Amino acid sequence: MEPVFGLEDQLKPKTEEELSERADFLVAALALWCSHALKTYIDHCGAKETERTGVAANIPFNQSEFDKASKELLTLSIWLTLLEQTGTIPDWFKQFIGKCHDASNGLLPEPNSREISARYDFSQGILALCETLSFHICMQMNLGTTSDDALIKLGNILSAGQKQRTKLLNFALTEPISILSLTVETQLAEF
């Protein structure tokens, strides 16, 4: 895995307020990416189910189920922004990741980011984390019978999202706060 980009001290937010604003931006951007990834996953499973059965797939889930799955995907995406770094991780970046988890709990309070994190063994590595997340969400949303690759597809999407996470993290840490205050949707269109 290539280094994402250097976590030099000049990237360290100057104030607690700046740290929070940058974390808020990253979480909002990652939440949109995660929502899109989850929809892509559901659409994939639906298309495979339709192809397999010849009948238009009806994948029932409610907003609460989607939000819980999105929060789990968001929590792991935040952790991946830390795990994808190489070398020594500065303390300020660890604090930034903590602020991101706080912001994610503000955005989607349930389930709590700590509860989600407790379900995972982070010593297994990135690929295993992505596979475990895919399995959890597949079972949670009852998508296992829709497609031969339903158990692994979301993990593949999450793993392939490193480039987007890198761009979003770089943007969150390097752009002026005034730019970050622009709508997240506008910024995501560039990624």
Q: Given this model, what pLDDT does residue 25 score?
A: 95
Mean pLDDT of 34-63: 88
Assess whether pLDDT exceeds 90 at residue 144: no
- Cβ atoms of 25 and 182 within 8 Å: the answer is no
Q: Calculate the CA dihedral of residues 3, 120, 30, 105 and round it to 10 degrees.
A: -130
pLDDT of 186 reads 67
**pLDDT value at position 2?**
46
Q: What is the pLDDT of residue 5?
A: 60
Per-residue pLDDT of 76-105, as tens digits, reads: 999 999 899 877 889 999 999 999 999 999
| Percent of the chain predicted with pLDDT > 70 | 92
Rounded distance between C-alpha atoms, residue 79 and residue 99, angstroms: 12
Residue labelled with tokens 């989850």: 38
Stretch 177-188: mean pLDDT, rounded?
71
∠ Cα 73 126 39 (to 5°):
25
Mind listing the pLDDT tens digit for each residue in 9-18? 788 999 999 9
Whole-number pLDDT of residue 7:
74
